[in-house]
Amino acid sequence: MTYRLEVCVEDAAGIAAAASGGADRIELCSALGVGGLTPPASLIRAAAAAPLPVHLLCRPREGGFVYDAADRALVADDMRGAAEAGLAGVVIGASRADGTLDTDTLAAWVALARELGAARGSALSLTLHRAFDLVPDMAAALDDAIALGFDRVLTSGGAVKAVDGAAALAALVERSAGRIGILAGSGVSPATAPAILATGVRELHASCRRAVAQGDDTLVRFGFAAAQRMETDAGIVATLAQMVKSA
């Protein structure tokens, strides 16, 4: 029984902290304040040198997950960039207007991922992101994700925070029956991890960040920086990693 900790990071320092703290995998993104967006190509190239698997979040803009043709093309191009850089996987998701999974769009992206993996000789791991948490029927959506060929679903159990979606997470674990991974995310911390792990999930997704004062009032005054910033803390990563390994 394998347990894993995935840490979402948005800069080079975060990559280093996740690695040194003992994370099993990185989700690479930017703009975590709005749930994460696709990061710049320069950071993608830097992450490719990390000593642990890196999955790229392919989300072209903030807001919902109902995508038009232009949005869909951006996601596909980001997936190509992940494959070309040598990253281990991609994190994708799309919705219909009624909140159900856009299975047509997802099927096209899964097919693209298979093509990219075959071309480079190494499969792209596939995570369905938290568009899943907006669906009206989680059981049906899980069945769709399995049929589409996803390796895992990132979910809070439909709640704002995973600890509050514990009952739904447990139901998803039971329904998955080992056919797909359930990656619990949102509000995961050393304080909430025990209750989340008790649902039977084997993978946790966390930012492991702490608030740090900017320390330069001039930058704040000119609008070049916020009064405080969030940074990945290797100590929090290490604590969560140990909890996961001890589960």
Predicted confidence (pLDDT) per residue in 111-151, tens digit = 999 999 999 999 999 999 999 999 999 999 999 999 999 99
Residue 233 confidence (pLDDT): 98
Token pair belonging to 35: 């749930």
For 152-190, the pLDDT digits (tens) are 999 999 999 999 999 999 999 999 999 999 999 999 999
Reading the block at residue 243, the tokens are: 């909890």
Q: How far is CA 194 from the centre of its chain?
A: 20
Amino acid at 55: H
Tell me the average pLDDT across 204-224: 91
DSSP state of 39: P
Which domains are present in the chain? 4-245 (3.20.20.380)
The Cα–Cα gap between 42 and 31 comes to 15
* This prediction's pTM: 0.95
Give percent above pLDDT 70 in the chain. Answer: 100
Q: How much is the mean pLDDT over the chain?
A: 96
- The token pair at 214 is 């900017």
- Do the Cβ atoms of 32 and 8 come closer than 8 Å? yes
CA atoms of 65 and 75, how far apart (whole Å) = 11
Q: What is the mean pLDDT of residues 53-65?
A: 97
**99: helix, strand or coil:** coil
pLDDT at 1: 61
The distance in angstroms from the start CA to the end CA of the chain is 10
pLDDT one-digit tens code per residue, 43-56 = 999 999 999 999 99
